[in-house]
Amino acid sequence: MATRLTGAAHLLARARDHWNRPGMTSLSGAPVRTLPGTHQSTVNPYWDLASTVPVHERSLPVEGSGVLVEVLPPPHGPFGWWVPQKQIAWAVPSPGDLAWLAERLGGRPVLDLGAGLGYWSWQLHQLGVDTLAYDLGTGSRAWLDDVEPYATVHSGPAEVAADHPDRALLLCWPPANGMADTALRHYRGDTVIYIGELNPDVCAGHAFFTALERWDLLGHSPFHVNLYGFRGVLRAYRRREGNRPPRRTEGACQNSATSGTCDRW
């Protein structure tokens, strides 16, 4: 685990060195105000980083998008928002997010699809949640820096959602390329956790959000934090009665586990 945390610890040290200098101000020119101290139930270097940089004083007009923190490139900050996204995760899991999510799961295991480096799976695992992480493989991970994953991340297509109806489906900042819609169409379970923007041109795509209208919104985390410039939310959905997918054809995706592809892709 020490090796996995090296990159995150380096970013945290750079942020602390930058923002602890005398006379530093936030983007608005006001004195630096950081997030209040919060009890943590997990080892969470991303939250440590978010708690080190300034809180942005302007709120966002998106319900559930929460507080903004100023992770920005020089001269304002030590590095841009894309650096922790490439080395940790697209979304910051606050301690409040994790507690809210664990309560909504109620002991249910999780399928983390499009997991990237598996940071959210690692956080949930520390809370005792049974997590299974998948990513599409090398091509989809080209954005990520060459760092060791925080959890075991298996390679597989979006259709693997069909194999895990007993698990809640977790989608964290899925790309707007059809992956999220494919996963939702093949998923036979009843709980979806969505983390990301509600703009279909940024996350998940139009078909996904159209399909999600047939699900009931259970609520959103009021504790979510975004990197500056983003409007992500953490939401939970429950399948509506009568919105059941057709019975899966056995063996339709038998090649997915070995080749990482599916005949129905």
What would the pLDDT profile of 119-174 be if each residue is shown by its tens digit?
A: 999 999 999 999 999 998 654 555 566 788 999 999 999 999 999 999 999 999 99
* pLDDT score for 59: 73
Query: d(Cα 119, Cα 82) in Å, to the nearest integer?
Result: 15
State the architecture of 95-245 in CATH terms: 3-Layer(aba) Sandwich (3.40)
ω into 61 cis (within 30 of 0): no
Residue 213: the pLDDT is 97
- Of the chain, the end-to-end C-alpha distance in Å amounts to 35
Extract the residue ranges of the chain whose pLDDT is less than 50. Answer: 139, 249-265
pLDDT of 116 reads 94
Rounded to two decimals, the pTM is: 0.88
User: Are 192 and 214 within 8 A, CB to CB?
Assistant: no
Instruction: Give domain limits for the chain.
Output: 2-87, 95-245
Read off the tokens for 167: 């698990």
